[in-house]
Amino acid sequence: MAGNWKMHKNAAETAAFFGQFLPAVRNTEGREMVVFPTFVNLAAAVGAARGSAVEIGAQNVFWLKEGAYTGEVSAPMLASVGCRWVIVGHSERRHYFGETDDTVLKKTAAALDAELSPIVCVGERLEERESNATEMVLGTQFTAGIAPLSPVQFAKICIAYEPVWAIGTGKTATPEIAAAAHHFLRTEIRRCFGDDAAAACRILYGGSVKPDNIKGLMAQPEIDGALVGGASLDPASFAAIVNF
């Protein structure tokens, strides 16, 4: 269960979130929880979550370790403040900031080198779904951004299927639509990495996940977890999702 805060919450709001969220989390047995604050609040979030089952991740990473790259943050820097995870290839980064499948691949490899766990996002736009191009888009993103990883690298990533038309729109994919996309991705994984990798890979669904739709989504065997945006900002609502 992953909560992507995007560009929300200052330092005080970050601390206040954990003060309310941690006591509200019940079912931690076998359940991984990660919160993705902004870069500047990562260290504070790591401190606030220390001793709990909640881990902290970053929303982006650069693929080189250091150098003259103004404004960028490297994977070893994230690891050095206690970050364990990173989101790579979120559709907002792909569409507003020019992220490509090639940079997704480089960022994923860099994250793995620093022992961060990447959640690699893929997903189609509305016009692509409406023109029956969903599998073509997912297949291209997978083939160019994920398939070149080695089997050892692949075993350490999670994939998030996030249909762009469902992100921040209140329009969740039905559990069946999400499961069909996950099934397609698992077929691609099987083709490139084999049966065991396909069975083991965790594929999260993201797109307007809320406390009232999480149960239906998680009832699909193809759906292994959720990447939650808006509903992860409120401690009670994210707790309801992780406690589903």
The residue nearest ligand PEP at its CB is: 229
Catalytic residue among 92, 162, 188, 222: 162
Question: Does 168 contact ligand PEP by CB under 6 A?
Answer: yes
Question: Does 49 contact ligand PEP by CB under 6 A?
Answer: no
- Residue with smaller CB distance to ligand PEP, 175 or 207: 207
CB of 195 to ligand PEP, least distance (A): 29
Active site residue 95: no
Residue from 139, 175, 207, 211 binding ligand PEP (CB under 6 A): 207
Question: Does 162 contact ligand PEP by CB under 6 A?
Answer: yes
Question: Does 175 contact ligand PEP by CB under 6 A?
Answer: no
Q: Is the dihedral of CA 221, 92, 77, 155 positive or negative?
A: positive
CA angle 217, 222, 225 (to 5 degrees): 55
Concatenate the DSSP letters of all residues of the chain into one string: -EEE--S---HHHHHHHHHHHHHH----TT--EEEE--GGGHHHHHHHHTTSSEEEEES--BSSSSSS-TT--BHHHHHHTT--EEEES-HHHHHHS---HHHHHHHHHHHHHTT-EEEEEE---HHHHHTT-HHHHHHHHHHHHTTTS-HHHHTT-EEEE--GGGTTSS-PPPHHHHHHHHHHHHHHHHHHH-HHHHHH--EEEESS--TTTHHHHHTSTT--EEEESGGGSSHHHHHHHHT-
- How far apart CA 160 and CA 33 sit, in angstroms, is 14
Active site residue 162: yes
Residue from 54, 178, 204, 209 binding ligand PEP (CB under 6 A): 209
Residue from 37, 57, 145, 206 binding ligand PEP (CB under 6 A): 206
Site residues for ligand PEP, 125-154, by CB under 6 A, read none
Residue from 139, 163, 225, 229 binding ligand PEP (CB under 6 A): 229
Question: Does 167 contact ligand PEP by CB under 6 A?
Answer: yes
Residue from 79, 120, 201, 227 binding ligand PEP (CB under 6 A): 227
Size of the site for ligand PEP (CB under 6 A): 14
- Residue with smaller CB distance to ligand PEP, 139 or 207: 207
Question: Does 235 contact ligand PEP by CB under 6 A?
Answer: no
Q: Just list the catalytic residues.
A: 90, 162
